[in-house]
């Protein structure tokens, strides 16, 4: 028998929820406000009042067991008749509060029915909905007396209405499980090490373990993780798989890989989530006044039901088409469809970011599997997710945008500005930091948020509303991050003549990552560069748990000539003096064979100076420069140039930038890369905080803050050249530090055939031999 689990509020919303979408930031803020009000009101109730009373009830409909769970806000057990209370906070003016929102009473009726099932002697009771006006602090309640017979009839009708959704879930579950069990590996044979990779993933899911895999380019990471995860669904070992990516290009690879399984008649719902701005059907997103948001909840159910019966692979094009046809928000439609999906392909944000993560999946533990692609990116991404800053100028701007005489909101803003003034006095032209959280600042920010929320509810139409909303969400983000504060955070602030900024910075996001991972049963981290593995295990929170595996490359060493020029210093003080030697090394590296090369520099300025000097000395070679802040169209045009194969085409790019990772240059599109420097981040205050933090933990903090992140950028850039077994290419690294024992140890096994050279002419001689040997062998 199939079991369908659902919460009380989800059950009643299926039949009775109406209304429009609201901005997610505001809805989250109100949920947090509501939770605080709940606790306050529950604490004020008399003896005999029971709060957060858990109920669980099973109903059997044919071959489906519907399990409904939830917690009643409160029960007055000593009243006669007994009162079941549902508490709702509201920002409506007190005199406008009434009992017209039936979905609130429906929720209360369900708890009343569950209570009566436990109290056979009770014939009737009171269903009470209490509304608390957040701004005034006043409460108003409405009582509905209901008999056992009335509540029984109500609940039976509610279950009958929900039955078609339970049947749909059952049918989707059976189809997914049956078809996933039958799929085969989608290629004639496994690549080297691919079968063992897939086996490790499957075993980790079965054992509810974590796994970290460094899998060099070419092994086929996506299919090696998706295939065993789908088989685990087929065997009933997990219920939902999240395929998490750092970039849209890797998400596309996952979607393309899924087509190989759909070609085998896989019948399993997959939903690809795309950012709200990219999904929006308006020229400029405005969720406050959007026809696609208007009464969304009252209109979405039949559309969603029909959609789930017609398509398996649901992506942004699909949701935009259906949304446009039915005037429904495509983004929200994709979120609702994800409830019924066995596979969700999405950005890291939807699991880890505290501002946008999918709360519907992380209230309780589920049988989820997380496949985390390019997992080396998660560390910095998570650091950014759990860091936030607030500037005095933003608070001043908010003050000027309030279109009325001084009131509670302006007073709250003024108090916050006074706090900024005190901080500025402490700065003395330097950065001030503290490990302890700024509780007083948090309270002032919280006060501004609460007053701003009430203000926005009352003032629906004024010219600066959109500006106020932007600033309001910045305040919410700052408060949200503050509430995650632990020993891995630091607060710092600094002042200039123009502004004062306060920043909460997450130095180690391991706790926050693991808090989300703990809601599932297994996490698989994989990337071509997860070295040193202990460094990543520490920062991902997997040091004590995950099995760590490093797979060898499937490419032969004869495919790649790797030369390291370790007689040039690219340290910052030596950069200007090193340029002539670097330019000549670049020339002698590319001269043996015409083609497309990328020249990676550690900064834009260094790159621009190097390119200018190179063009001055070697004008016959074509030079193209990466520009700062390139948009999607400019990025696409830059990549299209790699299709040309005439003469020498040199692309000067920034190490760690958009062309150093996640780009698949196959064949002759790229035959070599020259990498200048060891990728160290520029010395900065936050990297120094990371250094000091890990020094205190007993490890070499400099490596954690600078060396390892820099080397990862180098390894990612190196990985652009050899993408298939048919590729042939050269890699030249320039920096004297590569000759040290530390940096030699940081190269994975498939790069330890490097030859160390001391001059550019030797590089040209060896690369000439390499290309000549390749031509004579006829293999490439």
| Domain of residue 425, CATH code | 1.10.275
Indicate the range of 25-34, 36-45, 166-175, 665-674 predicted with least confidence. 25-34
**How many domains does the chain divide into?**
4
Judge whether residue 374 has pLDDT over 70. Answer: yes
Q: Would residue 174 count as lying in a domain? A: no
Contact 347, 250 (CB under 8 A): no
153 and 38 within one domain: yes
The most confident of 146-150, 249-253, 457-461, 464-468, by mean pLDDT: 146-150
Report CA-CA distances (Å) from 710 to 8, 71, 578, 602, 693.
50, 50, 20, 10, 18
Report CA-CA distances (Å) from 145 to 48, 81, 101.
20, 9, 17
Q: What is the pLDDT of residues 617-676, one digit of tens each?
A: 999 999 999 999 899 899 999 999 998 878 999 999 999 999 998 888 888 899 999 999
Q: pTM of this prediction?
A: 0.93
Compute the distance between CA of residue 661 and CA of residue 686 in angstroms, rounded to an integer: 24
Q: What is the reported pLDDT for 778?
A: 53
User: Phi, psi (5° rounding) for residue 481?
Assistant: -65, -40
98 and 202 within one domain: no
Which DSSP state fits 315? -
Task: Name 495's Cβ contacts closer than 8 Å, sequence gap at least 6.
Answer: 423, 424, 427, 429, 501
Count of CB atoms situated within 10 Å of the CB of 632: 8
Compute the distance between CA of residue 216 and CA of residue 549 in angstroms, rounded to an integer: 11
Q: Which residue has the higher pLDDT, 285 or 186?
A: 186
Compute the distance between CA of residue 159 and CA of residue 147 in angstroms, rounded to an integer: 18
Q: Would residue 169 count as lying in a domain? A: no
Q: What is the reported pLDDT for 565?
A: 98
Judge whether residue 757 has pLDDT over 50. Answer: yes
Compute the distance between CA of residue 195 and CA of residue 179 in angstroms, rounded to an integer: 21
Structure tokens given for 526: 């994989």
Judge whether residue 36 has pLDDT over 80. Answer: no
Give the range of the structural domain holding residue 143, as residue numbers without chain letter. Answer: 2-164
CATH number at residue 30: 3.90.320.10
526 and 572 within one domain: no
Q: How confident is the model at residue 18 (pLDDT cuts 50, 70, 90)?
A: confident
Report CA-CA distances (Å) from 114 to 11, 84, 142.
14, 10, 20
369 and 263 within one domain: yes
Can you tell me the mean pLDDT for 546-568?
Answer: 94
Q: What is the reported pLDDT for 26?
A: 45
Compute the distance between CA of residue 664 and CA of residue 648 in angstroms, rounded to an integer: 20
Q: Which helix (H) or strand (E) holds 319?
A: helix 316-326
Task: Name 415's Cβ contacts closer than 8 Å, sequence gap at least 6.
Answer: 444, 447
565 and 543 within one domain: no
Structure tokens given for 276: 């709200």
Q: Would residue 476 count as lying in a domain? A: yes
Helix 248-262 to helix 221-234 angle, to the nearest 10 degrees?
A: 50
Judge whether residue 233 has pLDDT over 50. Answer: yes
Judge whether residue 22 has pLDDT over 60. Answer: yes
Q: How confident is the model at residue 569 (pLDDT cuts 50, 70, 90)?
A: very high
Compute the distance between CA of residue 303 and CA of residue 310 in angstroms, rounded to an integer: 11
Report CA-CA distances (Å) from 166 to 2, 110, 298, 299, 464.
9, 18, 20, 19, 46
Q: How confident is the model at residue 30 (pLDDT cuts 50, 70, 90)?
A: low
Q: Which helix (H) or strand (E) holds 61?
A: strand 49-61
Indicate the range of 194-203, 425-434, 738-747, 762-771 predicted with least confidence. 425-434
Can you tell me the mean pLDDT for 590-599?
Answer: 97
**Which residues partner with 624 through β-bridges?**
651
371 and 414 within one domain: no
Q: What is the reported pLDDT for 91?
A: 74
**Which residues partner with 140 through β-bridges?**
131
Judge whether residue 326 has pLDDT over 90. Answer: yes
Pairing of strands 672-676, 729-734: parallel
Q: Which helix (H) or strand (E) holds 273?
A: none
Three-state secondary structure call for residue 571? coil
Q: Is the bond into 663 cis (omega within 30 degrees of 0)?
A: no
Contact 244, 348 (CB under 8 A): yes
Indicate the range of 145-154, 424-433, 556-565 predicted with least confidence. 424-433
Compute the distance between CA of residue 697 and CA of residue 340 in angstroms, rounded to an integer: 44
Q: How confident is the model at residue 348 (pLDDT cuts 50, 70, 90)?
A: very high
Comparing C-alpha atoms, which of 313, 312, 330 is closest to residue 321?
Answer: 330
155 and 237 within one domain: no
**Which residues partner with 145 through β-bridges?**
126
Q: What is the reported pLDDT for 13?
A: 92
248 and 134 within one domain: no
Count of CB atoms situated within 10 Å of the CB of 546: 21
Q: Would residue 184 count as lying in a domain? A: no
Side-chain-facing half-sphere of 484: CA atoms under 13 Å: 29
| End-to-end CA, the chain | 58
Can you tell me the mean pLDDT for 707-728?
Answer: 94
Mean model confidence pLDDT for the chain: 92
Q: Would residue 178 count as lying in a domain? A: no
CATH number at residue 727: 3.40.50.300
Task: Name 445's Cβ contacts closer than 8 Å, sequence gap at least 6.
Answer: 390, 416, 475, 478, 479, 482
Compute the distance between CA of residue 757 and CA of residue 761 in angstroms, rounded to an integer: 9
**Which residues partner with 131 through β-bridges?**
88, 140
Can you tell me the mean pLDDT for 703-725?
Answer: 95
Structure tokens given for 191: 């690549």
User: Phi, psi (5° rounding) for residue 431?
Assistant: -85, 130
Indicate the range of 196-200, 367-371, 724-728 predicted with least confidence. 724-728
Q: Which helix (H) or strand (E) holds 564?
A: strand 560-565
Can you tell me the mean pLDDT for 47-73?
Answer: 93
Judge whether residue 215 has pLDDT over 60. Answer: yes
Task: Name 94's Cβ contacts closer than 8 Å, sequence gap at least 6.
Answer: 133, 136, 138, 140
Find the DSSP H helices in 5-46: 8-16, 24-44
Contact 14, 110 (CB under 8 A): no
Q: How confident is the model at residue 95 (pLDDT cuts 50, 70, 90)?
A: confident
Q: Which residue has the tokens 């530390």?
A: 742
Q: What is the pLDDT of residues 292-306, one digit of tens each?
A: 999 999 999 999 999
Structure tokens given for 237: 């070992």
Can you tell me the mean pLDDT for 168-185?
Answer: 96
Q: Would residue 304 count as lying in a domain? A: yes
Q: What is the reported pLDDT for 363?
A: 83
Q: Would residue 364 count as lying in a domain? A: yes
> How many residues are there in the chain?
780
Count of CB atoms situated within 10 Å of the CB of 321: 11
137 and 262 within one domain: no
The most confident of 12-26, 276-290, 542-556, by mean pLDDT: 542-556
Compute the distance between CA of residue 644 and CA of residue 648 in angstroms, rounded to an integer: 10
Structure tokens given for 161: 């209405």
Q: Is the bond into 232 cis (omega within 30 degrees of 0)?
A: no
Q: Would residue 608 count as lying in a domain? A: yes
CA dihedral 315, 319, 320, 321 (to 10 degrees): 110
- Burial of 117 per CB tally in 10 Å (0-12, 13-18, 19+): middle
Pairing of strands 595-601, 672-676: parallel
286 and 340 within one domain: yes
Find the DSSP H helices in 392-525: 392-401, 408-427, 439-458, 465-482, 510-517
Q: Which residue has the higher pLDDT, 28 or 167?
A: 167
Judge whether residue 138 has pLDDT over 90. Answer: no
476 and 372 within one domain: no
**Which residues partner with 622 through β-bridges?**
649
Compute the distance between CA of residue 299 and CA of residue 283 in angstroms, rounded to an integer: 23
Judge whether residue 31 has pLDDT over 70. Answer: no
Indicate the range of 128-137, 145-154, 408-417, 633-642 predicted with least confidence. 128-137
**Which residues partner with 506 through β-bridges?**
489
522 and 444 within one domain: no
């Amino acid at each position: 028998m199939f079991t369908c689990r659902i919460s009380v509020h989800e059950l009643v919303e299926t039949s009775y929820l109406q209304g429009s979408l609201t901005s997610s930031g505001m809805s989250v803020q109100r949920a947090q406000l509501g939770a605080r009000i709940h606790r306050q009101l529950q604490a004020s109730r008399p003896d005999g009042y029971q709060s957060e009373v858990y109920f669980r009830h099973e109903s059997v409909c044919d071959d489906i067991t519907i399990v409904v769970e939830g917690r009643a806000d409160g029960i007055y057990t000593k009243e006669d008749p007994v009162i079941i209370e549902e508490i709702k906070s509201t920002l409506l003016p007190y005199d406008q509060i009434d009992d017209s929102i039936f979905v609130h009473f429906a929720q209360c009726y369900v708890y009343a029915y569950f209570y009566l099932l436990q109290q056979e002697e009770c014939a009737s009771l009171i269903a009470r909905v209490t509304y608390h006006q957040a701004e005034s602090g006043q409460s108003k309640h409405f009582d509905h007396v209901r008999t056992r017979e009335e509540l029984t009839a109500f609940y039976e009708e509610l279950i009958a209405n929900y039955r078609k959704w339970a049947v749909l879930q059952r049918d989707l579950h059976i189809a997914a499980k049956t078809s996933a069990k039958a799929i085969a590996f989608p290629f004639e044979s496994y690549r080297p090490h691919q079968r063992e990779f897939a086996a490790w993933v499957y075993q980790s899911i079965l054992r509810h373990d974590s796994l970290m895999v460094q899998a060099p380019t070419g092994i086929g990471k996506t299919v090696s993780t998706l295939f065993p995860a789908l088989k685990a669904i087929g065997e009933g070992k997990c219920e939902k798989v999240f395929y998490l990516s750092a970039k849209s290009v890797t998400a596309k690879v996952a979607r393309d890989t899924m087509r190989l399984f759909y070609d085998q008649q896989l019948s399993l719902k997959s939903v690809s989530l795309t950012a709200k701005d990219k999904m929006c059907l308006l020229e400029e997103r405005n969720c406050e006044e959007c026809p696609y948001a208007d009464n969304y909840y009252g209109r979405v159910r039949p559309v969603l039901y029909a959609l789930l019966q017609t398509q398996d692979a649901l992506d942004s094009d699909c949701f935009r088409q259906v949304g446009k046809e039915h005037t429904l928000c495509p983004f929200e439609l994709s979120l609702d469809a994800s409830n019924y999906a066995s596979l969700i392909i999405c950005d890291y944000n939807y699991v880890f970011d505290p501002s946008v993560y999918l709360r519907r999946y992380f209230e309780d533990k589920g049988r989820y599997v997380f496949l985390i692609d390019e997992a080396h990116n998660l560390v910095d991404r998570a650091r950014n997710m759990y860091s936030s800053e607030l500037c005095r100028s933003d608070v001043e701007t908010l003050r000027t945008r309030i279109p009325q005489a001084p009131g509670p909101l302006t007073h709250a803003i003024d108090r916050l500005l006074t706090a900024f003034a005190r901080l500025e006095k402490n700065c003395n032209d330097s950065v001030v930091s503290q490990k302890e959280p700024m509780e007083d600042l948090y309270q002032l920010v919280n006060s501004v948020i609460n007053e701003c929320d009430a203000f926005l509810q009352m003032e629906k139409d004024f010219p600066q509303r959109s500006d106020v909303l932007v600033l309001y969400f910045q305040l919410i983000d700052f408060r949200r991050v503050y509430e995650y504060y632990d020993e891995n955070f630091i607060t710092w602030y600094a002042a200039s003549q123009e502004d004062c900024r306060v920043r909460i910075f997450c130095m180690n996001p391991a706790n926050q990552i693991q808090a989300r991972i703990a809601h599932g049963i297994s996490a698989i981290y994989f990337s071509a560069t997860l070295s040193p593995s202990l460094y990543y295990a520490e920062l991902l929170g997997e040091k004590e748990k995950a099995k760590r595996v490093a797979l060898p490359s499937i490419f032969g060493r004869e495919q790649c000539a790797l030369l390291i020029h370790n007689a040039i210093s690219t340290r910052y003080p030596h950069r200007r003096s090193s340029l002539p030697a670097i330019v000549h090394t670049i020339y002698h590296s590319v001269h043996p064979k015409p083609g497309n090369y990328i020249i990676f520099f550690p900064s834009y300025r260094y790159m621009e100076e190097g390119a200018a000097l190179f063009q001055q000395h070697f004008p016959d070679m074509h030079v193209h420069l990466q520009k700062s802040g390139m948009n999607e169209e400019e990025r696409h045009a830059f990549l299209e140039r790699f299709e040309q194969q005439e003469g020498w085409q040199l692309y000067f790019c920034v190490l760690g930038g958009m062309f150093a990772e996640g780009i698949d240059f196959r064949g002759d599109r790229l035959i070599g890369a020259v990498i200048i420097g060891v990728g160290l981040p520029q010395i900065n205050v936050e990297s120094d905080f990371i250094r000091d933090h890990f020094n205190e933990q007993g490890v070499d903090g400099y490596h954690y803050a600078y060396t390892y992140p820099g080397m990862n950028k180098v390894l990612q850039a190196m990985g652009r050249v050899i993408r298939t077994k048919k590729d042939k290419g050269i890699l030249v690294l320039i920096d004297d530090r590569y000759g040290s024992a530390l940096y030699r140890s940081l190269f994975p096994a498939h790069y330890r055939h490097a030859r160390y050279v001391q001059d550019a002419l030797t590089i040209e001689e060896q690369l000439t031999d390499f290309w000549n040997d390749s031509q004579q062998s006829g293999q490439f």
